[in-house]
Amino acid sequence: MNPADINPPITVLVVDDSVSVRKALERILAPQGYLIRMADSAESALESLEPLPDLVLADILMPGMSGLELTRIMSDRGLNVPVMLMSGIVDEVTQRDAQTAGARGVLRKPFTPAELLPAIEPQVLAALDARAQRDGAAPAATPPTPVTPTPVTPTPAAAAPATPLAAQPAPAPVQPAPFQPAPTFTPAPPAHSGPLAGLNAVPGVLGATLYDADGERQDQFGPDLPESFAMYARFMVTAAATASHHLNRGDLGSILLSYAGQTLLLSPHRDGQLVTLLASSDAAPAAQRWQAAQHN
């Protein structure tokens, strides 16, 4: 199925409070021929359902109304629109809640184009059927199954007979040089003048990355994190902040996370998130004191 051949184009309503996620989905889907509409909350999505989109991609965890609640409301209103939910954590409970709410499935964030496009194709076909039912036309035809060509195995050329080699005397064994241990020294931390200036000098801090509210990297030193980690960091910090709000436990401080045998400290920082790589969890209090000093 080629979405670019569908007229009028398939309209996808993307619902996520993260600007970076909305932009990422637009960058993936728009070149394929999809028409993208966006909403930064479930409440805003409910106000922008006219004209009705063909497909909804909604984050589960958002401030205010969740994606699950949005799906239930659309189902209660009898809106024949497929909904795919998105979440950084997809387990049996999440899948069961999504199915109960009426969603067609749950996409695990973050995802690549190669993961997203095949995942939504069955929902696009369902969207075409729903559009046809609303218009009183016949359901969309299922695309033909592609025929896989039979591979042709070429006939291997006859191998040339091996030419015997004259026997060569074995080389004399090489004696290894005596092991010389490298001198041990502790380098001074490199100078850093960005927003994270001074954090690299905190004992036990090996590196740090600062993201803004849109998930864009603002400053960094030390080892690089994967490009997709911005979405993970934002999800985990937002999830903890939302939970602390609903549980009346006050504002979120920070999260310690074990990642690839390393310790990461995830914290809200101004309007974004700060991810600090630590030598061990014992270094967390010193990093938190540096961060508190930046807010004072």
Q: Which CATH number fits the domain that encloses residue 50?
A: 3.40.50.2300
Residues 15 and 121 in one domain: yes
Residues 208 and 126 in one domain: no
Q: Say how many C-beta atoms besides its own lie within 10 A of residue 128's C-beta.
A: 20
Q: Can you read off the two tokens belonging to residue 14?
A: 């993307």
Single-letter amino acid code for the residue at 67: G
Q: Which residue has the tokens 């590196």?
A: 207
Q: Residue length, the chain?
A: 296
| CA–CA dist 116, 114 (Å, integer) | 6
State the pLDDT at residue 273. 87
Q: Are residues 111 and 219 in the same domain?
A: no
Instruction: Tell me if 169 is assigned to some domain.
Output: no
Q: pLDDT value at position 147? A: 35
Please check whether residue 150 lies inside any domain of the structure: no
Clarify whether residues 129 and 207 are in a common domain: no
Q: In terms of residue numbers, what domain contains 262?
A: 199-295
- Final residue of a structural domain among 119, 136, 153: 136
Does one domain contain both 226 and 122?
no
Domain boundary among 86, 119, 136: 136
Let me know if residue 161 belongs to a domain: no
**291 beta partners:** none
Give alpha helix (H) positions in the chain. Answer: 19-29, 42-47, 67-76, 92-101, 113-135, 229-246, 284-295
Query: What is the CATH classification number for the domain harbouring 274?
Result: 3.30.450.30
113: Cβ contacts below 8 Å, ≥ 6 apart: 28
- Please tell me whether residues 102 and 20 are part of one structural domain: yes
230 vs 217: CA distance, rounded Å: 8
Is residue 160, in this structure, part of any structural domain at all? no
* Consecutive 10-residue averages of pLDDT for the chain (296 residues): 84 94 93 94 93 94 93 92 91 91 91 89 86 66 39 42 47 49 45 79 89 84 80 77 64 75 84 87 86 78
Q: Are 130 and 25 found together in one domain?
A: yes
The total domain count for the chain is 2
> Do residues 121 and 18 both lie within one domain?
yes
CB 92 within 8 A of CB 120: no
Instruction: Indicate whether 24 and 101 sit together in one domain.
Output: yes
pLDDT, residue 279, reads 84
Residue 170 in any domain: the answer is no
pLDDT score of 294: 81
pLDDT, position 163: 42
- What is the pLDDT at residue 193? 66
Tell me the whole-structure pTM to 2 decimals.
0.51
pLDDT of amino acid 255? 87
